[in-house]
Structure 1
Amino acid sequence: MTSPTEDTARVFIVDDHALFRRGVRAELEGPAARGVTVVGEAGSVGEAIAGIGHYRPDVVLLDVHMPDGGGAAVLARTRTEYPDVVFLALSVSDAAEDVISVIRAGARGYVTKTISGRDLADAVVRVKAGDPVFSPRLAGFVLDAFADRPGAAPPVDPEVDQLTRRERDVLRLLARGYAYKEIAAELVISVKTVETHVSSVLRKTQSSNRHELSRWASDRRLV
């Protein structure tokens, strides 16, 4: 285990799989990893919030998907209270929406679980120093989402962020003129589920009909 010094990055691991947490800890405490020390770990959102408050780590390695809310929930409940803590997403997912949502929530970087122990330690040191860090193919998602150019998503839009991933999928297709049956076939869900998502989107966007929804989506460059 790396001996803590002033320059050592103190790391807290958040993942709901205990076996994976042990593997990450072993990698970061191994001889190939330098400049980091693991101070604690958590397997749920509640444990993560308590652990971050207790240990005050420099860097939190944060899983994106967990049964009780995932990385975004941890960020929402700790970012303001602990502004000096830096979050680095570590996930099996390389989906663009996962990357963009967690960066919008406040993570400083995003790497996938295929990363080597040495590269992960390097990523931790870099985000602690203030650098954004992404696995190679993921950086393009962030550039596309945050760039100020036609077709790009707005940098931060709480109204969009309140929609679930599936609700955004339904909204995009609806705004493109798809019928409910076509949306259901495209997303491999039932028409009833489509209707439920549309009702939720109408309520969240305070729209009263399909035309208003389409205009709402177009104004936010979702289509």
Structure 2
Amino acid sequence: MSETYDDPASVTVVVVDDHPIWREGVARDLAAQGFAVVATVADSSFTLRIAAATQPRVVVIDLDLDELSAVEAVRTIANTMPDTRVLVLSERAGHSDVLEAVKAGAAGYLVKSASAAELMDAVRRTANGDAVFTPGLADLVLGEYQRLTVGPEPGQAPVPRLTARETEVLKLVATGLTSQQVAKELGLSRRTVENHVQNTARKLHLHNRVELTRYAITQGLAE
């Protein structure tokens, strides 16, 4: 079973942004809520060295960096640091970089206009393995998910068969909803929703909600 991070002090965080006022402000807010901020970094290339050295639970990274692409940094972290989760932030919402970041391995995406409370909650949920998205991005994620229901392109491996209910649950999980929110939306118990998530992950040979979300989006994108 995955480790849970209910105590903010157990969540180590690296904050990455090339704007010092915003970067240090986020670090202060996180520290004030008890999170263990281990480093603040101005560029994504240095982030990779810091993350490799500190192995933080969460990297909060601005998508709009000038040097090494933040998406490439996300991909490297996802591929080489399996215990580290990446929460991407940006001043914009709804552009294609959202999907590219999630495909690369980001656990979530939040706009910088989010409140401090929303950011704290997003970091906590990211640490615990949830897929976290700014509410306004749900339509974008769902739009890409809808392509998944059409079926694979010629030559692609067949998509494992899911039940109608599993498909419904995956559809909502892919927008970043919690089990409780999915349960309320579908009129089910939380335990039933969690069982569907586990069954779906087992069928797809995946391990957590982040991987389920990445699967839904990646399989849904036209090549």
Q: How far apart, in 2, do the equivalents of 1:44 and 1:73 lie?
A: 12
The residue aligned with 1:74 is 73
Tell me how far 1:142 sits from its aligned partner.
1.4
In the alignment, does 2:15 pair up with 1:20? Answer: no
The residue aligned with 1:112 is 111
**Runs of 4+ with deviation above 6 angstroms:** none
Tell me how far 1:96 sits from its aligned partner.
2.8
The structure number with the bigger radius of gyration is 1
Q: Residues 116, 143 of structure 1: CA spacing in aligned structure 2 closer, same or farther, 3 A cutoff?
A: same
Count of residues paired in the alignment: 150
Contact kept? 1:146, 1:153, Cα under 8 Å: no
Q: How far apart, in 2, do the equivalents of 1:153 and 1:65 lie?
A: 33
In the alignment, does 2:85 pair up with 1:86? Answer: yes
Tell me how far 1:125 sits from its aligned partner.
0.8
In the alignment, does 2:9 pair up with 1:10? Answer: no
Tell me how far 1:97 sits from its aligned partner.
0.6
| 2:66 partner amino acid | P
Contact kept? 1:8, 1:37, Cα under 8 Å: yes
The normalised TM-score by structure 2 is: 0.61
The residue aligned with 1:55 is 54
Tell me how far 1:153 sits from its aligned partner.
11
- Deviation readout 1:30-58 (Å, 9 max, x if unpaired): 2xx35x22111111122100110111100
The residue aligned with 2:149 is 149
- Structure 1: runs of 5 or more not aligned: 158-219
Q: Residues 61, 145 of structure 1: CA spacing in aligned structure 2 closer, same or farther, 3 A cutoff?
A: same
Q: Residues 77, 22 of structure 1: CA spacing in aligned structure 2 closer, same or farther, 3 A cutoff?
A: same
Q: How far apart, in 1, do the equivalents of 2:81 and 2:89 lie?
A: 20
Q: How far apart, in 2, do the equivalents of 1:88 and 1:6 lie?
A: 16
- Deviation readout 1:24-81 (Å, 9 max, x if unpaired): 1122122xx35x2211111112210011011110000011121113321212322222
Contact kept? 1:41, 1:51, Cα under 8 Å: no
Q: Residues 6, 109 of structure 1: CA spacing in aligned structure 2 closer, same or farther, 3 A cutoff?
A: closer
- Deviation readout 1:117-174 (Å, 9 max, x if unpaired): 2221111111111111111111221121133135x999xx9xxxxxxxxxxxxxxxxx
* Percent pairwise identity: 29
Please give the root-mean-square deviation of Cα atoms over the aligned residues, in Å.
2.5
| 2:24 partner amino acid | R
Contact kept? 2:45, 2:68, Cα under 8 Å: no
The residue aligned with 1:197 is none
SS in 1 for 2:102: helix
Q: Residues 54, 139 of structure 1: CA spacing in aligned structure 2 closer, same or farther, 3 A cutoff?
A: same
The residue aligned with 2:125 is 126
- Deviation readout 1:160-201 (Å, 9 max, x if unpaired): xxxxxxxxxxxxxxxxxxxxxxxxxxxxxxxxxxxxxxxxxx
| 1:76 partner amino acid | R
The residue aligned with 2:95 is 96
The normalised TM-score by structure 1 is: 0.61
